[in-house]
Amino acid sequence: MDYKKAVAQLREASRRAVRELGFLENRYCETGCTHSQCHVLVELDVRRRVTVGELAEILGQDISSTSRTLRTLIDRGFVESLVDSRDGRRRPYRLTKAGRTKTQEIHRLADSQTRAALELLSSADQDIVIKGLSLYAQALERSNKLALIKIRPIAPGDDEAMSAVIRQVMTEFGAVGNGMSIEDQEVNRMFEAYKGERSAYFVAVKGGTLLGGAGVHQLEGCDDPGVCELRKLYVLPEGRGMGLGRQLMDRCFSAAQHMDYRHIYLETIDNMIHARHLFEKYGFRNLKAPMGQSGHHGCTIWAIREL
């Protein structure tokens, strides 16, 4: 795909949609509400009651901006705050009767606007628009989540958290017991194990939470010094589905090239289906037998690719 052309075309289509939907106006049609206020009202209608923090995360805004919008809606009588009987510190928000009426008005206008546009398309084109827009929205959501994650070299203080990630993920996929890398001594001291000149390990961190990691190390027991091993690529469930595995691999490949490796080798198991698909996309070709002496005789799949 010509991504440069695709990006230009999608951005142009997005700009046209933004103009035609009226997002450049201060108010949404005759509702008397700003677009931000409409979004808040609709989300409260869908979710019934949420805290300001939850709402900010849903809308992709900072808490202060969401709080300002909520205060305006409270002043207008559309939203009210509650006290959680189970947790006095938690203050959820919900629509008032007037807020529900206003939200129904917003839905009617939005439904009418959307239907008028869809009626100009054939049934087949309607399906294309709905599917394409849904996929694009999902991709944007994943991309925005990924942007909040920082990938950096492992630090001494990461050992405990990274060890927990490795043990959780390997247990999840049944990769436990003798012959599996979960038994490696380095699991408890990852920083020390990868601080050599021809080794590197990277961790993915969101806020103060470590979500995963991956590293490269010279393949043990291999006579060719130009072969390294992709090791311990593991991501927690909350970090999956947004391309984090690919970003970790890209950092590993870049580091391996910088360290003058010519090939990168890996070992895995049948159960890790999504990881195997990722490796295939990156051009790894399967081998009939393992290389080197990793000690991981519990692995069932071996693969290699050029750097």
Q: Tell me how many degrees the CA angle 74-76-82 measures, rounded to the nearest 5.
A: 25
Q: How many CB atoms lie within 10 A of CB 228?
A: 29
pLDDT category at 295 given cuts 50, 70, 90 is confident
Question: Any idea what the Cα angle at residue 47 is, between residues 42 and 51, rounded to 5°?
Answer: 100
Band of residue 87 on the pLDDT scale cut at 50, 70, 90: low
If you average pLDDT over every residue of the chain, what do you get? 90
pLDDT, average across residues 50-70: 89
Q: What is the pLDDT of residue 88?
A: 58
3-state secondary structure 248-280: HHHHHHHHHHHCCCCEEEEEECCCCHHHHHHHH
**What is residue 85's predicted lDDT score, i.e. its pLDDT?**
65
Q: Say if residues 233 and 251 touch (Cβ distance below 8 Å).
A: no
pLDDT attached to residue 180: 83
pTM: 0.76
Give per-residue pLDDT as tens, 242-252: 899 999 999 99
Q: Return the pLDDT at 44.
A: 93
Q: Which residues contact 121 (CB under 8 A, 6 or more apart)?
A: 129
Summarised one tens digit per residue, pLDDT across range 104-120 is 999 999 999 999 999 99
Our CA angle for 210, 212, 216, nearest 5°, is 125
Residue 213 and residue 152 in contact, taking contact as beta carbons nearer than 8 Å: no
% the chain with pLDDT above 70: 98
pLDDT at 83 over 80: no
Predicted confidence (pLDDT) at residue 140 exceeds the cutoff of 70: yes
Mean pLDDT of 16-23: 84
Tell me the pLDDT band of 183, cut-offs 50, 70 and 90.
Answer: confident
Q: Walk me through the domains of the chain, giving residue ranges and CATH numbers.
A: 3-120 (1.10.10.10), 150-306 (3.40.630.30)
C-alpha R_g of the chain: 25
Query: Higher-confidence residue: 165 or 19?
Result: 165
Model pLDDT for residues 191-207, shown as the tens digit of each residue: 999 998 899 999 999 98
Q: Are 307 and 263 spatial neighbours (Cβ–Cβ below 8 Å)?
A: yes
> Looking at the predicted structure, is the pLDDT value of residue 266 above 80?
yes
Rounded to whole angstroms, the Cα distance separating 63 from 76 reads 20
